[in-house]
Amino acid sequence: MQDQVSKLNGRTGNPVATYLGSGQVDPDAERRALDGEYRLVYVTPEKLCQGGFAERLANLHQSRPGGAICLFAVDESHW
């Protein structure tokens, strides 16, 4: 995910995407993602199931006019 985010952000010239999971080193990435700062957020299945993250994601969607989330997909789940 990290390489995909880096390539996408490099093409656009500004941060439009981030990833959330155990490899994320930026402590503010989750807060910024849940504040709606990114157009695309890659999330690991493990992160999705942790600490009420899915509920916070639903709150983000409900708090935005017209909804903030138009597509949600989980890929490469190894459970």
How much is the pLDDT for 48? Answer: 85
pLDDT at 79: 53
| pLDDT number for residue 70 | 65
Domain extent listing, the chain: 2-63
> Taking Cα atoms as reference points, which of 31, 36, 41 lies closest to residue 9?
41
Separation CA 51–CA 38 (nearest Å): 21
Residue-wise pLDDT tens digits, 33-62: 888 888 888 888 888 888 888 888 888 777
Q: In angstroms, how far is CA 23 from the centroid of its own chain?
A: 13
Q: Which is nearest to 43 in space by CA: 8, 17, 10?
A: 17
Structure tokens at 71: 């597509």
Beta bridge mates, 18: 41
